[in-house]
Chains A and B, each alone.
Chain A
């Protein structure tokens, strides 16, 4: 029994890290631009395809591919901000509806380019780590390790650089931030680009584990939604707490009850939190 608990704990943390990568970008876009981005999952999908193209078609090393994926995603974020989201800056609802359209365009664009069939991704590492009865496949450990490094870099960027400070200022109060010289013309595309890059790199990290197809964006989007609602829209610490919580809930419920029960439990939790505390566990209440 204690073995099962420990194994669930490890799996929960791995899941939680993936969810966190997805959710931070999502919550950042909302915090900075007030956009609920329904296309966020499609950038996870695009990141996975970028990794597939880099590794199998171009023969690049995996770390180089991931770095290129991040650069590509930031550029794409800037383009999408300009073409789709900019006109809706002060209109949350229209921006969100526009993101529904963007999601359809991206998903079906990928469908036309790559076809509907799932594509295999070559394993980056093989074998397992073993501690007593506990088993962690090396491929998962690799994804977890890189994911944690990226999250750490992002944390340092956010807390200790000029642009990071500007982003945090925007999340707290747009007008005051603008008065103090935060340049919205740069920070909006950057905020969205970084958020999208985190989703894309999550896609690149998970591609070796789960495979690649145009439809893989839906589940991570759903998880990002859940994490962000639980943690509070726009709150990064809230997202961190909720991501780990969600990972653990899912891993424990599916070990001890069943996988579909895990989904229903988390959705019931989401609805409960929205009804009782719409601002989320750590979010700020809105006037």
Chain B
């Protein structure tokens, strides 16, 4: 996972314009068809893209976290408990979820991130399990294995977003904010430092970059985004349990990230956009969903190591050679 950090030039300007136009067109699909089902899928795409975006930030410093679902869970439980027990508005619950998830990541980040490669993956895997087990042990807060149902819906300044059509614009705005944050990080000085740490840790350290702090910062930002997405998910779906934020969810975020492109700026969005609707449109084949995910994952790793987001560049290179 080193070669693709140079993603500064994603093609000439006109191409970027075409892509932006295509993105807007895709975002408009639910309004064009008017189907509530499409609104639902579009909202799920937004939530997955936000969460996967958080995972990407950690991946940019060369670490792959399998505890991402746990941080989404921390954000979800924080927001749900604040809203139901302390009567906080949902609009405050979402950032509070991000804050707490980020704070936890900040505290445990320094010792965790001393581990690299598969060892970091293994410890985050263990952490995600530990989160699930501990949550099951405290049913007075987590709802235990039967979870918490009837979570208050999303609302803005007292206006409840009760329909899919009402939630979708809000989801789009949140996604746009998260993507804007990713762009800011990536294009700024911080992004260059992330890239340096990812590409060659020893060299970055020798060049005076505080690599440990940079990695902790990335992990904190990424996990905070996960917390936000998790809180959004909780208020949108209306039900959470410790099992919601288990190993499977962490894996599906990893799959979306890898499919979209581990190091590409737009990878998380592309991955979520491709994989979230995919099973929904293979009607009557719900059991095949995970098999398809697995096949897509292995095929992408094998043939598109830079993910779908790297596909245009890969094609262009091939065309140039021919």
Contact = CB atoms under 8 A, between A and B. Distances in A.
B161 interface: no
Contact of A101 (B134, B287, B294): B294
B125 interface: yes
B301 A98 contact: yes
B311 interface: no
B305 A103 contact: no
Contact of A264 (B64, B118, B133, B291): B133
Interface string B257-298: 010000000000000000000000000000111110111111
Nearest to A111: B287
B291 A278 contact: no
Interface in B180-239: none
B128 to A, nearest CB: 10
B129 A222 contact: yes
Contacts of B255: 100-101
B125 A93 contact: no
Q: Is the interface of B mostly helix, strand, loop or mixed?
A: helix
A267 interface: yes
A270 B112 CA distance: 13
A136 interface: no
B274 to A, nearest CB: 15
Interface residues of B, number: 40
A160 to B, nearest CB: 31
Contacts of B251: 100, 104
A202 interface: no
B133 A267 contact: yes
A94 B301 contact: yes
A225 B122 contact: yes
Interface string A84-100: 10011000111011101
Contacts of A88: 301
B88 interface: no
A94 B272 CA distance: 19
Nearest to B127: A271
Contact of A270 (B64, B126, B289): B126
B302 interface: yes
B290 A92 contact: no
B294 A105 contact: yes
B130 interface: yes
A101 B126 contact: no
Contacts of A268: 130
Given A97-B297, A112-B287, A229 B111 contact: no
Contacts of B288: 108, 112
Given A93-B1, A94-B301, A260-B137, A36 B122 contact: yes
A271 B126 contact: yes
Nearest to A279: B119
B298 A98 contact: yes
Interface of B: 1, 64, 111-112, 114-115, 117-119, 121-123, 125-127, 129-130, 133-134, 136-137, 247, 251, 254-255, 258, 287-291, 293-298, 301-302, 305
19 contacts: A36-B118, A36-B122, A93-B117, A97-B254, A98-B297, A100-B255, A101-B294, A101-B301, A104-B297, A108-B287, A108-B290, A108-B294, A233-B119, A264-B130, A267-B129, A267-B130, A271-B130, A274-B123, A278-B114
Given A96-B121, A226-B126, 9 more contacts: A92-B117, A100-B255, A101-B294, A101-B296, A104-B251, A112-B288, A267-B130, A271-B127, A275-B115
